[in-house]
Chain A
């Protein structure tokens, strides 16, 4: 074979391996543009209300929408501890007192001015007086002392101005509190002890972290079949229930240990809303009273298996079939969970880790499993399994597989970057959507109310894919909306205003940091001044002479000494090394990390509010909801977002708020 033909053959073979893009065109719409407070995980529909959606995240947040994703409410099942605002880092302490004045005093000392030794006063000139003493003690040999220094006697004192304070740098009170220190927090420790609180490892930062509540993953949300405002969330910190549409959540199941507490999946029974299935890291639980009490499934490996997915299905004979995916394969119950059969187990562990299950609406014997090692299909109720898609999904993590409820041959699967579709029961798969964002595809759902619409959740997007183009209304209202938009600040302007308002823009901080080099041109100035006064007396009495008759002198020898001294000094210090390089000029460290984190949070939050508000503006002008409550809800949310954006941006939306106050429409005018 010639080289050219060989190349062509290889290219043809490669092209055959590459999945073809489908001919159908899918139109994408992102409903969570800017909703990046958290990593998005799972979208759940309310079976009874097409407008209600719940969105699970990895950061304790549950978003809920009751207007088809137009606007989102945010609830926090578990609050993530906020970073501590304050000086954790022991900043370079302001120099200054206490600093040492030793240099100044040294000069005074050398001039004998800064010390006064009482002991020295007793050093009478004894030796030279020796003869006179002999006279006093005539007739008796009296050996005089060389000095009167008292052997072994404690020093009477050396009055000397000393200064040993030193110019120590450090965190001052921070250091005493243990802030910023990995060990040692004496004052905090003693305070805690006095309060009877444990003080082990009482570093303040650590303490705050320990006091904070751990953020949790919201792994899945199941919505009540008849009540869109009731839902159950399976989280890593227990199972919670809302009855007010996702605003408030109350715990309903905490498990007896951390594995039971870690809820992975939850589903309502399709026939009986009081019957709820909960998959945890340690077994499957069933509630028969809507979630108030949970009983563990027993007598099967499901009793302790790590449950990842529950897929209920109503059989045509009226029984409820349940597929349960776990980390050790799949289980099937044909009687609503009373008895179980272990239907799928492979030798490769990745294949046993089930990520989702899809069942054929018309034939429950026909099911698909997505795993960490591709797709598996059964057509005989789990008796036999084969891979779907050939080598295409081998070794690939498939987060989700879905079957078209109207056509068992039609299914969807997603990998981390692609959405795949099959029309021939998984024999061939085609890519219908490639996500080119930085995010991973986490999950997807078929719209239960709108055939041909696929919702895809990536870490940061909610994409609505439609295989038909929606008609855009062409009316005067659209033109009005366009004109109204001209008065709106651009997203970048709003972003900059918020960063400026909170002073966390990297530009502003960098400009300030650049000043640090010039700060070294100025000296540190230290001034010291003081005054000392001393006086002392020494006495020597030869008792026989003092007490001698006729003697009127109280002492034989007296020495008095006194003196005063004032001193002062000025010291200037230049740290010229800072002119060449100063560490503070670098955008590093806690302050920078904090600012960066806050900046990103703000950016995501602001982007979300900004775009949600624009969507609402569009809806309210172009296509206002006809339902009274829906209209009020949307307008109230519009007002909320406007006021929130105004507060964040430091008044950028003052005109819009003024318009709200002065407008003629109720939603513009009211406080509601």
Chain B
């Protein structure tokens, strides 16, 4: 209850301090709210890099339980052997062999091996190895959050301080596109698709298209 009171007080105070914009700018600002939120983008980026929490937990669980499965080896072989020997006795009969000897045979075998490393059920160093993904998680979060808010600042800047000259406007718009593309790349295409889905841009860039840029 006390927390709610504080929250309302804080909110009220900030409301007083809230800047007021013109109606036209406010429309543009409200439009920004339709874009994917930062937590959504973070989530998609982690999923795209295959390091979201569920996946990492799955890696860890897999590493700790993998010893339940045996290592299997199946092997087999087939041998076919045939040999013969002829002896000629030219003294007795030069026209005909005297003695023929021959031997041959076949053999096959099939074998299976199974091995369980049960100690790994108790401890498997690979469980600890999964922790090395933490650095990647940290980096991806940092990068995607930074990009997201860098882009958002630029958007606000363009809305609230529209450039007076064409060159500056183009430069800033180019930068905005660059940041959008980076976010898109970090999320495996999610960002653009969402912008299209929410009617904020016309079409998404298809990274699987025949465009050589994406090959």
Cα separation A503 to B137 with both chains bound (whole Å): 11
**Inter-subunit contact A524/B117 (CB<8 Å):** yes
**Inter-subunit contact A629/B39 (CB<8 Å):** no
Contacts of A86 in B (CB 8 A): 129, 132
Query: Within residues 365 to 421 of chain A, which ones have a CB less than 8 A from any CB in chain B?
Result: none
Contacts of A657 in B (CB 8 A): 39
**Inter-subunit contact A672/B99 (CB<8 Å):** no
* B130 → chain A closest CB, angstroms: 7
**Inter-subunit contact A640/B145 (CB<8 Å):** yes
The closest CB in chain A to the CB of B133 belongs to: A85
Contacts of B131 in A (CB 8 A): 502-504, 509, 591, 594-595, 598
Contacts of B137 in A (CB 8 A): 502
* A113 → chain B closest CB, angstroms: 12
**Inter-subunit contact B113/A98 (CB<8 Å):** yes
**Inter-subunit contact A522/B19 (CB<8 Å):** no
Say what secondary structure dominates the interface of chain A. mixed
Stretch at the interface among A42-50, A292-300, A338-346, A526-534: A526-534
**Inter-subunit contact A116/B85 (CB<8 Å):** no
**Inter-subunit contact A118/B104 (CB<8 Å):** yes
Query: Chain B, 105-135, contact with A by CB distance < 8 Å: what is the 0/1 string?
Result: 1111111111111111111011111111111
The closest CB in chain A to the CB of B79 belongs to: A159
Contacts A157-B81, A540-B99, A620-B14; A530 near B128 (Cβ below 8 A): no
**Inter-subunit contact A628/B160 (CB<8 Å):** yes
* A21 → chain B closest CB, angstroms: 42
Taking each of B37, B111, B175, which has the highest tally of chain A beta carbons within 10 Å of its own beta carbon?
Answer: B111
Contacts A595-B131, A605-B138; A518 near B122 (Cβ below 8 A): yes
The answer to whether A92 has its CB under 8 Å from any CB of chain B is yes
* B151 → chain A closest CB, angstroms: 10
The answer to whether B209 has its CB under 8 Å from any CB of chain A is no
Query: Chain A, 501-541, contact with B by CB distance < 8 Å: what is the 0/1 string?
Result: 11110000100110110111111111111111111111111
Of A95, A537, A547, A621, the residue contacting B117 (CB under 8 A) is A95
**Inter-subunit contact A602/B134 (CB<8 Å):** yes
Cα separation A624 to B16 with both chains bound (whole Å): 10
The answer to whether A195 has its CB under 8 Å from any CB of chain B is no
Contacts of A87 in B (CB 8 A): 126, 129
Contacts A529-B111, A529-B112; A643 near B38 (Cβ below 8 A): yes
**Inter-subunit contact B145/A644 (CB<8 Å):** yes
Contacts of B33 in A (CB 8 A): 670-672
Of B83, B98, B107, the residue contacting A534 (CB under 8 A) is B107
The answer to whether A17 has its CB under 8 Å from any CB of chain B is no
**Inter-subunit contact B19/A666 (CB<8 Å):** yes
Query: Chain B, 28-56, contact with A by CB distance < 8 Å: what is the 0/1 string?
Result: 01001101011100100000000001001
The answer to whether A83 has its CB under 8 Å from any CB of chain B is yes
The answer to whether B155 has its CB under 8 Å from any CB of chain A is yes
* A602 → chain B closest CB, angstroms: 6
**Total interface residues in chain A, CB < 8 Å:** 120
* A506 → chain B closest CB, angstroms: 11
The answer to whether B170 has its CB under 8 Å from any CB of chain A is no
**Inter-subunit contact B142/A636 (CB<8 Å):** no
The answer to whether A227 has its CB under 8 Å from any CB of chain B is no
**Total interface residues in chain B, CB < 8 Å:** 98
Contacts of A633 in B (CB 8 A): 153
Query: Chain B, 8-23, contact with A by CB distance < 8 Å: what is the 0/1 string?
Result: 1111111101110100
The answer to whether B136 has its CB under 8 Å from any CB of chain A is yes
Cα separation A644 to B37 with both chains bound (whole Å): 12
Query: Within residues 152 to 204 of chain B, which ones have a CB less than 8 A from any CB in chain A?
Result: 152-153, 155-157, 160-161, 175
The closest CB in chain B to the CB of A523 belongs to: B118
Stretch at the interface among A308-316, A320-328, A645-653: A645-653
Cα separation A529 to B136 with both chains bound (whole Å): 45
Contacts A156-B83, A537-B103, A647-B141; A629 near B160 (Cβ below 8 A): yes
**Inter-subunit contact A530/B136 (CB<8 Å):** no
* A123 → chain B closest CB, angstroms: 10
The closest CB in chain A to the CB of B9 belongs to: A480
The closest CB in chain B to the CB of A118 belongs to: B105
The answer to whether B71 has its CB under 8 Å from any CB of chain A is yes
* A71 → chain B closest CB, angstroms: 11
**Inter-subunit contact A636/B15 (CB<8 Å):** no
Cα separation A532 to B110 with both chains bound (whole Å): 7
The answer to whether A637 has its CB under 8 Å from any CB of chain B is yes
Cα separation A631 to B16 with both chains bound (whole Å): 12
**Inter-subunit contact A663/B53 (CB<8 Å):** no
Contacts of B93 in A (CB 8 A): 544
The answer to whether A192 has its CB under 8 Å from any CB of chain B is no
**Inter-subunit contact B115/A97 (CB<8 Å):** yes
Contacts A96-B70, A532-B109, A629-B160; A82 near B135 (Cβ below 8 A): yes
* A476 → chain B closest CB, angstroms: 9
The answer to whether A101 has its CB under 8 Å from any CB of chain B is yes
* A578 → chain B closest CB, angstroms: 7
**Inter-subunit contact A522/B118 (CB<8 Å):** yes
Contacts of A529 in B (CB 8 A): 111-113
Contacts of A640 in B (CB 8 A): 38, 145, 148-149
The answer to whether B210 has its CB under 8 Å from any CB of chain A is no
The answer to whether B73 has its CB under 8 Å from any CB of chain A is yes
Query: Chain A, 118-158, contact with B by CB distance < 8 Å: what is the 0/1 string?
Result: 11011000000000000000001000000010100110110
Contacts A522-B121, A531-B110; A502 near B134 (Cβ below 8 A): yes
The closest CB in chain B to the CB of A555 belongs to: B100
The answer to whether A542 has its CB under 8 Å from any CB of chain B is yes
The answer to whether A112 has its CB under 8 Å from any CB of chain B is no
The closest CB in chain B to the CB of A119 belongs to: B103
**Inter-subunit contact A82/B70 (CB<8 Å):** no
**Inter-subunit contact A531/B103 (CB<8 Å):** no
Cα separation A620 to B82 with both chains bound (whole Å): 94
The answer to whether A271 has its CB under 8 Å from any CB of chain B is no
Cα separation A650 to B92 with both chains bound (whole Å): 99
Cα separation A646 to B37 with both chains bound (whole Å): 14
The closest CB in chain A to the CB of B140 belongs to: A647
Contacts A540-B101, A629-B160, A664-B11; A530 near B122 (Cβ below 8 A): no
**Inter-subunit contact A601/B149 (CB<8 Å):** no
Of A97, A501, A513, A624, the residue contacting B73 (CB under 8 A) is A97
Taking each of B79, B112, B119, B136, which has the highest tally of chain A beta carbons within 10 Å of its own beta carbon?
Answer: B119
The answer to whether B94 has its CB under 8 Å from any CB of chain A is no
Contacts of A672 in B (CB 8 A): 29, 32-33, 152, 155-156
**Inter-subunit contact B114/A526 (CB<8 Å):** yes
* B101 → chain A closest CB, angstroms: 5
Contacts of A592 in B (CB 8 A): 128
**Inter-subunit contact B118/A524 (CB<8 Å):** yes
**Inter-subunit contact B110/A509 (CB<8 Å):** no
Cα separation A118 to B81 with both chains bound (whole Å): 8
| A-B pairs with beta carbons under 8 Å apart, 30 shown | A85-B133, A85-B136, A96-B70, A96-B71, A97-B73, A99-B115, A122-B103, A150-B85, A153-B83, A156-B83, A156-B103, A159-B79, A504-B134, A512-B127, A513-B128, A519-B122, A527-B70, A530-B109, A536-B103, A538-B104, A591-B125, A594-B131, A594-B135, A628-B19, A629-B161, A636-B153, A647-B141, A650-B53, A665-B17, A670-B33
- Which are the 6 A-B pairs with shortest beta-carbon distances? A96-B115, A536-B105, A96-B71, A97-B73, A530-B111, A665-B14
Q: A82-B136, A91-B125, A671-B32 are in contact. List 19 more A-B contacts (CB 8 A).
A: A85-B132, A148-B101, A157-B81, A480-B10, A504-B131, A515-B122, A516-B123, A519-B119, A529-B111, A530-B109, A534-B106, A547-B96, A595-B128, A595-B132, A648-B141, A664-B11, A664-B14, A667-B18, A672-B32
